[in-house]
């Protein structure tokens, strides 16, 4: 996804996102969190802690060219249900990617 001004309008600081990445961009196919910053290089999010279902202390940066799609909750949306939808999105993408040559589980074991 090339960086354009419209990217900055689509994904903004404070939004909740589930970013789907190209294979081999990161160990997992989807990262979920709140947007902390958006610039010409990409998006920085504070990752969700699934145990307490809130943003954690860790940030993740995704460059625009690694992002293939995104599930987005803006302040106009009911963000209370976003966590459930994002978790389902993440699990579905894991299942879809499990048939790809890139094995995320192997990458996670190396961390």
- In 22-97, the DSSP E strands lie at 30-38, 42-49, 54-63, 67-73
- With a CB cutoff of 8 Å and minimum separation 6, the contacts of 105 are none
> Are 29 and 99 spatial neighbours (Cβ–Cβ below 8 Å)?
no
**Strand ranges across the sheet with 42-49:** 54-63, 42-49, 30-38, 16-21, 67-73
> Are 51 and 32 spatial neighbours (Cβ–Cβ below 8 Å)?
no
pLDDT tens for 40-58 read 999 999 998 776 667 777 8
Question: At residue 99, does pLDDT exceed 70?
Answer: no
Domain extents in the chain: 5-110
Q: Classify domain 5-110 by CATH number.
A: 2.30.30.100
- Predicted model pTM: 0.76
Average pLDDT, the chain: 82
pLDDT tens for 73-86 read 998 888 778 888 99
């Amino acid at each position: 996804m090339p960086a354009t001004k419209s990217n900055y309008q689509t994904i903004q600081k404070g939004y909740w996102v589930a970013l789907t990445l190209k294979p081999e961009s990161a160990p997992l196919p989807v990262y979920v969190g709140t947007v902390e910053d958006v610039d010409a290089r990409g998006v920085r999010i504070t990752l969700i802690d699934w145990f307490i279902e809130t943003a954690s202390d860790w940030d993740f940066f995704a460059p625009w060219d690694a992002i293939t799609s995104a599930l987005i909750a803006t302040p106009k949306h009911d963000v209370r249900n976003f966590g459930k939808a994002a978790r389902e999105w993440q699990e579905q993408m894991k299942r879809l990617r499990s048939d790809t040559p890139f094995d995320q589980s192997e990458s996670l074991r190396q961390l």
